[in-house]
Amino acid sequence: MNEHVIQNIVIVGGGTAGWMAAAALSRFLNNGTTQIRLIESEEIGTVGVGEATIPPIINFNAMLGINENDFLRATQGTFKLGIEFVNWGAIGERYFHPFGQHGHDLHGVQFHQLYLRERKRRVLQDISAWSMSSVAAAHGRFGRPGANAPAPLNELFYAFHFDASLYARFLRDFTARSGIVQRIEGKIVDVRLRDADGFVEAVTLADGRVVAGDLFIDCSGFRGLLIEQALGSGYEDWSHWLPADRAIAVPTELAGPPDPFTRSTAHPIGWQWRIPLQQRMGNGIVYSSRFADDDTAERTLLANLEGPMLADPRRLTFTTGRRKASWTKNVIAMGLSSGFVEPLESTSIHMVQAAISKLIALFPDKRFDPIERDEFNNQMRDLYEDVRDFIILHYHATKRGDSPFWDYVRTMEIPETLQRKIALFRGKGRVFREGYDLFGTPSWVAVMLGQNIVPDDYEPVVDALDEAKVAEAIEEMRQAYLRIAEQLPTHAEFIAKTAPVETPVQSFSFADEVPGILPFTGGTR
């Protein structure tokens, strides 16, 4: 065995981040040499704000060999086709940010460029009418496309809504079956650093046990027990761009069948989330303590609930930003220990997944090569900053001036990187996304058009295409999305046949009506 191989990995903290890391590392480090231990305390609760996800989580679960139906049953999960934004551009307006693409490119010209030219010629529906996920969501429909599903059904992309604490429990049980990860119940009271280089050598538990390791994964939440309290990595505060620093969450009874999408509704003091699970609705409000007190925020939330509360409201605090270095010495921060860019686009769980994949790609040995560390930090910095810009766009691109909060975000100075993106789009609808693994061109187009950033013109190459033929093709696409959506089962029907929480899975398939839909027996595409 190579003398430099990492032999002892210690994960500090459970919750979603900790058990995602444990599950993935046990899958890729099942080499008979590396020991993985996870320390968590039942005394310390988890935040669990994020109950909505984005499509890459499908790949994460598939990588672990998780059956999708089993996962949905265990987490009370539902499907998510995107996010509906209400009152963001202006009061009374709404738009949909879907997963997947808008329409089809023609002769190498992006669909949204064709759309921009066509809307100059005549009145068009919102661009969401050319998204399979958007149209299905608008009709309350869902189907899980098979690998060989025909167009446009194969353009239906999805993620999930689920109970984050149940997902952590599911991963914990799933990982326990492998026998590779050792769970240690205990509360850390001290961190011991090596004298020679300041690396973390061991942590001490309240009962006196000492747990040593070569590599430490910090999943201790906002406090950053290792990355910040022990190593002082530093935190880059983004609250001048993203002033929201408070959230209140409360579950309610379902008022009807669960929608296959998340809803974000803007209020004068912030915004409210609405996340439908199988047996309850997840609700919450995000706001800034600079512009509203906690009691006002709670009253706003409670006044806009759709069903009776199932528990008392829970208040949370946070500071948007990121660690200046997510990997410091022999500690790698994941989840809230690494940073937080608020839950508006459901990115928190994805940031954990991204950190895990980058760690596996750059996995160190005991020498901890600075080149590997710096590459990890650079990639995580770029990802955080790109997500930051996308979230700021939602706030800044508003016409609202009905409150001090919206006045501030509408008029504030924004990052130069976002200024450039908006200017490029405002000119000729251009979006450049090379090298990024999240929020592609369709996402930026959906939010910019949805919040009234309409380009002055379109790319000149569009004029090389015949107007009549393009108009005909665009209309055929719209009709195809609508036709397929109307044939899909309702979201509630699909869940009832796929992964109901209380009833056993039944054998049923809509494949005859809609070729390309996966049977309801599980799996991913």
DSSP characters for 485-515? HHHSPBHHHHHHHH--SSS-------TTTST
Which of 192, 231, 183 has its CA nearest to residue 13? 183
80 is catalytic: yes
Distance CA(391)–CA(265), nearest Å, equals: 15
Which of 503, 415, 499, 517 has its CA nearest to residue 61? 499
DSSP characters for 104-140? --BTTB-HHHHHHHHHHHS----GGGG-HHHHHHHTT
Instruction: Give Rg (Cα) of the chain.
Output: 24
Phi and psi torsions of 321, nearest 5°: 150, -165
- Percent composition of the chain: helix, strand, coil (DSSP 3-state, to 5): 35, 20, 45
Which of 237, 304, 231, 228 has its CA nearest to residue 265? 304
Which of 180, 239, 228, 189 has its CA nearest to residue 211? 189
Which of 140, 137, 130 has its CA nearest to residue 158? 137
Type and span of the H or E element at 192? strand 188-193
Which of 88, 98, 89, 103 has its CA nearest to residue 454? 89
Which of the following is catalytic: 80, 329, 421, 497?
80
Type and span of the H or E element at 317? strand 314-317
Torsion angle of the four alpha carbons 119, 123, 128, 129, in this order, in degrees rounded to the nearest 10: -120
Which of 119, 113, 88 has its CA nearest to residue 445? 113
Catalytic residues: 80
